[in-house]
Amino acid sequence: MNILMVCLGNICRSPLAEGILQEKAASAGLNWYVDSAGTNGYHVGEAPHPLSQKVALINGIDISAQRSRRFVAEDFDKFDKIYAMAEDVVSDIRRIAKNKFDKSKVELLLNELYPGKNMDVPDPWYGAEPGYHEVYSLIDKACDMVVERHKV
Sign of CA dihedral 66, 51, 21, 11: negative
Nearest distance in Å: CB 89, ligand 4NP = 7
By beta-carbon proximity to ligand 4NP, the closer residue of 33 and 42 is 42
Q: Does 66 contact ligand 4NP by CB under 6 A?
A: no
Helices 129-150 and 50-58 sit at what angle, rounded to 10 degrees?
Answer: 60
The C-alpha angle 18, 74, 112, rounded to 5 degrees, equals 40
Sign of CA dihedral 36, 8, 61, 141: negative
Q: Does 35 contact ligand 4NP by CB under 6 A?
A: no
Q: Does 11 contact ligand 4NP by CB under 6 A?
A: yes
Q: Does 12 contact ligand 4NP by CB under 6 A?
A: yes
Q: Between 74 and 113, how does the x/- string for binding to ligand 4NP read (CB under 6 A)?
A: ----------------------------------------
Note the residues at the interface with ligand 4NP (CB under 6 A).
Answer: 7-13, 38, 40, 42-43, 123, 125
